[in-house]
Chains A and B, each alone.
Chain A
Amino acid sequence: MNVRHDKRSRNRTRLLIFLGLAGLLTLLSIFAPLLAPNDPNATNALHMNEAPSRAFPFGTDRYGRCICSRVLMGARTSIFSAVALVAATFVFGSVLGMLAGWFGGAADALVMRLADVLLAFPQMVLAIAVAGILGGGLFNAMLAMGVTGWTLYARLARAQVLALKEEAYVSAARLTGQGVLSILLKTLLPNMLGPLVVNASTQIGTMMIGIAGLSFLGIGVTEPQAEWGSMISGARAYLQLAPWAVLAPAGATILTVMVFNYLGDCVRDVLDVEGSR
């Protein structure tokens, strides 16, 4: 009993720490325009490929742009696009899965077979193809990642609805004459949110990596908008001359993905332990 209690409180502390770190990164990205030492898009022919200095903390790239400012602005793109994408796929997938599970029949079969087929493709291959065809841009890259992203939540939500549908409290809610929407949202959703949230929290890092990867390939966020993947891709050509132009966004990517991945693990540990209490 005591051991379990210890483990629980330790998990909660870890969750709070990483929630704090993720929050800090998000705050940094929100206030990026205020924190950036220079204009992230201003080119300067006098300061090309300059090593880190007081004026340019992370140095400059081949157009003389301040890398520190660009890394800060890139945090906005990475964090916000990943969180927005996870939120969108979460809502879309969960709603579709819940409706499929509740109504069953042909609609259910159609949604689930579509999910099966989408999952038969390697996820990044489909994303690369979709983003490549749509021809770049942040929104298209997010769309490309979202094409398969929703299936996770749809499958989970459907399975949960099927499991909970016959519970006494659900029948009770039906007998009171509530509408379907009200039953799904008020009675079922609170009881099935745990696994969905765990899934969503572990997906943020994955989506971040995916969007950065597409941008690196030139089919995601494009210049001059600052984004870590495309910054690394651009600076790779002159790696010998200005390694900081690659290392700074690389470090930022690793740090951010790690924090969000670890946060996902913590959420899973806390909810799993409390779920099996």
Chain B
Amino acid sequence: MEKYIAKRLLHLAGILIAISFLTFLLMYLAPGDAAVKKLNAQGIAVSQEVLDKTRADMGLDRPFLVQYGDWAWKALRGDLGSSYKDSTSVAGKLGKAMGHTALLALGSLALSLLVSLPLAMLTAVKRDSVPDYILRFFSFVANSLPNFLISVLLMYFLCVKARLLPVVADKNFKGLLLPALALSIPMTGRFLRQFRAEILEQLGKSYVGGARSRGVKERYILVRNVLHNASISILTVVGLSVGTLFGGSVVVETIFRWPGLGKLAMDAITNRDYPVIQGFVLFAAVVYVLVNLLTDVAYHWIDPRVRQE
């Protein structure tokens, strides 16, 4: 186990270096002169003199690899540069927005799991029954719904038609409800489908027949054996959904004006505030990689066959 973790950590270091390099390259290759962009974002008139000075201040006159090294070394110590727009620290901006996005992501994840797990068990056990067909259809429709579309439809039906909720979210529970729902509906559809398939696969295995023939209660088999064995795949599915959540948060937070990372990133794109975009991309990728590493490690920890190796 220790050996495995050590190996994974080494691999992680390589991936992180590659991620940071690609993120830096992305902004480096962005069309236009970074100094001009910075001056434009601050609304300063561009003259040759100012431009030369800004370029030197930003270190843009140095070779590419030196610039990357400098940026990566600072990033490693938590310094992601400063915003073109208001010169405040990018890391500070990300830190302030992070909590909101974490709340939204965890809320929608919990909602999706709470709905999809029991329903997946139901549809798997009552395979080919009416509820199974209905739920399979729902999961298919939900899975085909883009985040932006479900957000706008929720807004229309709940806020405009039924007048149940305010259109612009406050930063309280009521404000969290709509964006969380918008993120979790497509996710529930996806979870339901994947969990159902996994539970069906487990139910078809011989240990289930064996337990049944020994007279073990059906409910006990389902919860103690099937669900336990399915938990590894469930964990993997949940880990992978973190990436989708990051992408979805940009759309949903922008629509409902939820002050999280996604809205920060979208505002930065509108303002051409490159260091903030860069910080967001780097942060999202690092969190995504770490979550998937954790699910892998948990997988090794849950599965006794792998643990013994």
Contacts and interface: CB of A to CB of B under 8 A. Distances in A.
A240 interface: yes
A37 to B, nearest CB: 25
Contacts of A250: 149, 152-153
A124 B143 contact: no
B160 A243 contact: yes
B246 interface: yes
Contacts of A236: 152, 155, 255
Nearest to A216: B148
Contacts of B149: 212, 232, 250, 253-254
A247 interface: yes
Contacts of A113: 18
A122 B148 contact: no
B115 interface: no
Contact residues of B: prevailing secondary structure: helix
Contact residues of A: prevailing secondary structure: helix
B9 to A, nearest CB: 15
Contacts of B22: 117-118, 121
A133 B247 CA distance: 16
Interface in A234-274: 236, 239-240, 243, 246-247, 250, 253-254, 257-258, 261-262
A100 to B, nearest CB: 17
Interface in A102-154: 113, 116-118, 120-130, 132-135
Contacts of A133: 26-27, 30-31, 269, 274, 277
B250 A128 contact: yes
A229 interface: yes
A213 B144 contact: no
A122 B254 contact: no
Nearest to B186: A209
Contacts, number: 129
Interface stretch (B225-233, B283-291, B295-303): B283-291
Interface residues of B, number: 44
B281 interface: yes
A127 B274 CA distance: 15
Interface in B233-287: 242-244, 246-248, 250-251, 254-255, 265-266, 269-270, 274, 277, 280-281, 284-285
B15 A122 contact: no
Contacts of B254: 217
B95 interface: no
A219 interface: yes
Contacts of A93: none
B265 A128 contact: yes
Contacts of B145: 254, 257
A132 B269 contact: yes
B133 interface: no
A216 B255 CA distance: 10
A205 interface: yes
Interface of B: 15, 18-19, 22, 26-27, 30-31, 140-141, 143-149, 152-153, 155-156, 160, 242-244, 246-248, 250-251, 254-255, 265-266, 269-270, 274, 277, 280-281, 284-285, 288-289
5 contacts: A122-B243, A212-B149, A254-B141, A258-B140, A261-B144
Given A132-B277, A239-B152, 14 more contacts: A118-B22, A120-B285, A120-B288, A121-B19, A122-B242, A123-B243, A126-B281, A129-B265, A205-B144, A217-B251, A232-B148, A240-B160, A246-B152, A254-B141
